[in-house]
C-alpha cells in the first residue's frame, strides 16, 4: 500500500506504523509509535494546509507519494551526473528504521527518529 508502512522507527524493538492521513483540509504524515502497553502514540511528521509543517512543494495532495521503510543499517544509494559530466554517488544508512517518502519524478526524503523528534534527509533528482 502506498500510504502506509511499518518498522521499528524508534529503535525500541516494537513495531511502529507510518501513515499518510487524508482529510478535507489537507493531509498529514503521522508515525504511530507502539508503547510497551500495546497502544500507539501519534507523532505528526508533516502536514499540509495553514500552519502545517510541510516543506515548500509538499502542500499539494499526496497522490504521487509512496511510503516505504528503509531498514536499520540498509544502504540507500543514488547517482547523478554532475556539471563536469562526472558521476556523483551518495549513500546513506540509519541506525534505526527510517520512513521513506518518495515523490514521483521528484525526490526521496527519509525521516528518522533522533530520540526526541523526526529529522529528515532528502535526495533530490536532477
Distance CA 17, CA 7 (A): 7
Tens-digit pLDDT profile for the chain (126 aa)? 568 999 999 999 999 999 999 888 788 999 999 999 999 999 999 988 655 555 544 545 566 788 999 999 999 987 766 667 777 778 889 999 999 998 776 688 999 999 999 999 987 654
Domain residue spans in the chain? Answer: 4-49+56-124
| pLDDT score at 84 | 73
Q: What is the pLDDT of residue 54?
A: 57
CA distances from 23 to 11, 29, 54, 62, 82 (A): 30, 12, 15, 11, 40
CA distance 118 to 110: 10
Amino acid at each position: 500500500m502506498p500510504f502506509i508502512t511499518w518498522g521499528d522507527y524508534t529503535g525500541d524493538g516494537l513495531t511502529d506504523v507510518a501513515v499518510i492521513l487524508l482529510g478535507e483540509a489537507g493531509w498529514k504524515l503521522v508515525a504511530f509509535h507502539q508503547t510497551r502497553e500495546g497502544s500507539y502514540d501519534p507523532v505528526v511528521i508533516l502536514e499540509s494546509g495553514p500552519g502545517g509543517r510541510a516543506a515548500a512543494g509538499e502542500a499539494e495532495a499526496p497522490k504521487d507519494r509512496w511510503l516505504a521503510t528503509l531498514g536499520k543499517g540498509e544502504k540507500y544509494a543514488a547517482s547523478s551526473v554532475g556539471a563536469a559530466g562526472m558521476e556523483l554517488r551518495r549513500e546513506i544508512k540509519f541506525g534505526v528504521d527510517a520512513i521513506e517518502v518518495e515523490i514521483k519524478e521528484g525526490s526521496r526524503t527519509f525521516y528518522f527518529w533522533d530520540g526526541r523528534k523526526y529529522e529528515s534527509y532528502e535526495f533530490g533528482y536532477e
